[in-house]
Structure 1
Amino acid sequence: MLIPKICPNCNGSRALLYFDAIYYYVVCDQCGMTGARALNEEEALVLWNERSSTSFTYEVVQDSNKLVRVMSCDTQRECKRYPINLPVVLTLFQPNGKKITGVMHNVSYYGAFLQLRGGHVSAIPSSTEELSRLRMFLYYKNPIVKQTDENGSVVASPESNPIQQIEFIPKHMMQSSQVVGVGGCFKSPNGEQLQSVQHLVEFARGR
């Protein structure tokens, strides 16, 4: 089995593998930083090893979740964030709140970095402290992965629900006179949203 890397938040050397009856995920035993959900143990460890030092997390471990195993960590760590250029709409306070338009510039299994410049961009507060108290909802169109058929012709993959919506937790920001950059994490994606995030990362990874 894959060996987990040390925690990127606190350098903790012990990791806990949990199962919530649907997904597996890794948690640092020292600080509680949580990894991305996966359908099997090995993939949960892969996603934990790819996470960056940015404070991306999903949620606090619930008492009802089952502890599968305790593992000692390796000392090496990788940072995997992938460049992408995807139009997005961000709403403030609630799903149908004030709309801000922009572009997603990088993505990981945990979150993304957004460059915002249109709509109600002036509604974004100027301080990180105020920003962290906002609820944000991110909308984007699932990128179409083009495939080829047996004749070599390009065909587009089918889209069951092209517009994706997921709650976005802002963590840090950069501001200029015209553009606001916001980095943050995806909050507790459900099954469909998790598949959407995985699709997004695979698309960015394969570009």
Structure 2
Amino acid sequence: MQIPKICPNCNGSRTLLYFDAIYYYVACEQCGMTGARALSEEEALSLWNERGDTAFTYEVVQDSDKLVRILQCDTQRVSKRYPINLPIVLTLSRPNGKKITGVMRNVSFYGAFLQLKGGNMSAIPASTEELAEQRMFVYYKNPVVKQLNEKGEFVAPVESNPIQQIELIPKHMLQTSQVVGVGGCFKSPNAEQLKSVQGLVEFARGQ
């Protein structure tokens, strides 16, 4: 069996292998960050270790899940964040809550950093702890990826870029008199959202 690598979120050195009656997945014992679901123990460990091919999520491990085993981690896994400058709208507590505007400054396979500076800034709590008590919904438009035709000319993409919604769990916050920065992890994206996150990273890589 593979040896899991150290958690990229908190550098935790022990991981938990869980089985939820359908899928296996790895979770960090220290911070609770989870890896992608898989149909076997070995595949779950492989997805946890293959950092660049997996969109990770952070969520509370359910009590009903069965703990399979506790694993001691091996080496540190590289956690890459890619710079990006993508307009976003943030709502707190509910999807149609007060709107806060800003930009996504960097993105990774498991989270992002937001720079907020417009809209209902007064709705943002004063601390990370208070912010974590509210749900954060981030909306953005998939960036347009330029494509080349046979003549080497740029052409417009065939499909439009719909507005995406993804939930973020805040992990740290930086405040100034004019701007609020929030870094966090993606929470339980569905298949479409995972594809969107991977598209964001690929777009950022190609810039």
Interval of TM-score (by shorter of Structure 1 and Structure 2) = 0.7 to 0.9
Matches within 5 A, 1:102-121: 102-121=102-121
How far off its partner does 1:140 sit? 0.2
Report if aligned partners of 1:91, 1:99 keep a CA contact under 8 Å in 2. yes
Matches within 5 A, 1:49-68: 57-60=58-61, 63=64
Cα distance per residue 1:43-93 (max 9 Å; x no partner):
4421289999xxx614425756796x9866322331211111000000122
Cα distance per residue 1:122-161 (max 9 Å; x no partner):
2111122211111111000001111212221212334355
Q: Hey, what's the Cα distance between the residues in 2 that align with 1:24 and 1:88?
A: 33
Q: Secondary structure at the match of 2:33?
A: coil
Q: Secondary structure at the match of 2:200?
A: helix
Partner of 2:36: 37
Residue 177 of structure 1 aligns to which amino acid in structure 2? S
Q: Secondary structure at the match of 1:159?
A: coil
Partner of 1:47: 51
For structure 2, list consecutive stretches of 5 or more residues without a partner in the other structure: none
After superposition, the Cα gap between the structure-2 partners of 1:117 and 1:159, relative to the gap in structure 1 and judged at 3 Å, is same
For structure 1, list consecutive stretches of 5 or more residues without a partner in the other structure: none
How many percent identity over aligned positions? Answer: 60
Q: Hey, what's the Cα distance between the residues in 1 that align with 2:31 and 2:174?
A: 27
Partner of 1:79: 79
Cα distance per residue 1:149-194 (max 9 Å; x no partner):
2221212334355210112222211111111111112111111111
Using the size of structure 2 for normalisation, the TM-score is 0.79
Residue 153 of structure 1 aligns to which amino acid in structure 2? E
After superposition, the Cα gap between the structure-2 partners of 1:155 and 1:71, relative to the gap in structure 1 and judged at 3 Å, is farther
2:13 aligned with 1:12, yes or no? yes
Residues matched between the structures, number = 201
After superposition, the Cα gap between the structure-2 partners of 1:65 and 1:148, relative to the gap in structure 1 and judged at 3 Å, is farther
Report if aligned partners of 1:140, 1:165 keep a CA contact under 8 Å in 2. yes
After superposition, the Cα gap between the structure-2 partners of 1:185 and 1:153, relative to the gap in structure 1 and judged at 3 Å, is same
Report if aligned partners of 2:174, 2:180 keep a CA contact under 8 Å in 1. yes
After superposition, the Cα gap between the structure-2 partners of 1:80 and 1:130, relative to the gap in structure 1 and judged at 3 Å, is same
2:101 aligned with 1:98, yes or no? no
Q: Hey, what's the Cα distance between the residues in 2 that align with 1:143 and 1:88?
A: 11
Partner of 1:197: 197
Using the size of structure 1 for normalisation, the TM-score is 0.79
Partner of 2:153: 153
Matches within 5 A, 1:117-156: 117-156=117-156
**Which deviates more from structure 2 when the two are superposed, residues 8-17 or residues 197-206?**
8-17
